Amino acid sequence: MNNTTRILLAAVLCTAAVACTKKVKEEAPAETTPPPAQTEQPTTAGVYGPSDLDTDACLRQRVVYFDFDQDTLRPEFQAIVGCHAKYLRDRPSSRMTLEGHADERGSREYNLGLGERRGNAVSSAIQANGASGSQITVTSYGEERPVCTDSNEDCWAKNRRVEIVYTAK
């Protein structure tokens, strides 16, 4: 998608949404983390353990957000994908479920498909960072489990997400 259509899309979204001045806030924490060092370095010293899931600034981030009707991973979430991929590599016995979600607009069954696409996008990105697909399960909840229930863009942006849930640490 080029910039013109992106702006047009944003303009269309803003006409009906109340809070279009508020940009998606979730970008901020992703930027503050310095993860590139962790993503690619195969150091033996920096091996993740289960306790890092609660303490590591990158691993503690378990939600990836998406644009409207999109399943493309936004660049700012590469860091999160990288550190969780490293965790799976470091701990081959660990397992994660990627729960894909959509906002409330449109049909529930189509949104189940959209949630799965987003889960698959995160799964592919994690595997591209060296984790094994056998450690990852994708489940779509579509629009059935919103974290925010207002009908505006602010809320919809929070609901278009993939949640990383560790089922075995």
Which residues contact another protein (rule: CB under 8 A)? 12-13, 15-17, 69, 104-110, 112-114, 116-117, 120, 138-141, 144-145, 147, 149-151
DSSP class of 50 = T
Q: Which is nearer to another protein, 52 or 143 (CB)?
A: 143
Q: Which one, 34 or 106, has the nearer CB to another protein?
A: 106
Please give the full DSSP string across 80-141, using - where no structure is assigned: HHHHHHHHHHH-TT-EEEEEEE--SSS-HHHHHHHHHHHHHHHHHHHHHTT--GGGEEEEEE
Closest of 30, 109, 17 to residue 68, by C-alpha: 17
Q: Write the CA distances from 140 to 49, 78, 112, 161, integer angstroms.
A: 28, 21, 6, 10
Nearest approach, Cβ of 21 to another protein (angstroms)?
16
Cβ proximity to another protein, 12 vs 128, nearer residue = 12
Closer to another protein by CB, 61 or 111: give it: 111
Q: Which amino acid is at 54?
A: D
Are the CB atoms for 141 and 111 separated by under 8 Å? Answer: no
Taking the complex as a whole, the smallest distance from the CB of residue 79 to another protein amounts, in Å, to: 27
Q: Of the two residues 122 and 138, which places its CB atom closer to another protein in the complex?
A: 138
Residue 5 identity (one-letter amino acid): T
Q: Mention every residue, 6+ apart, whose C-beta is less than 8 A from residue 125.
A: 73, 78, 81, 85
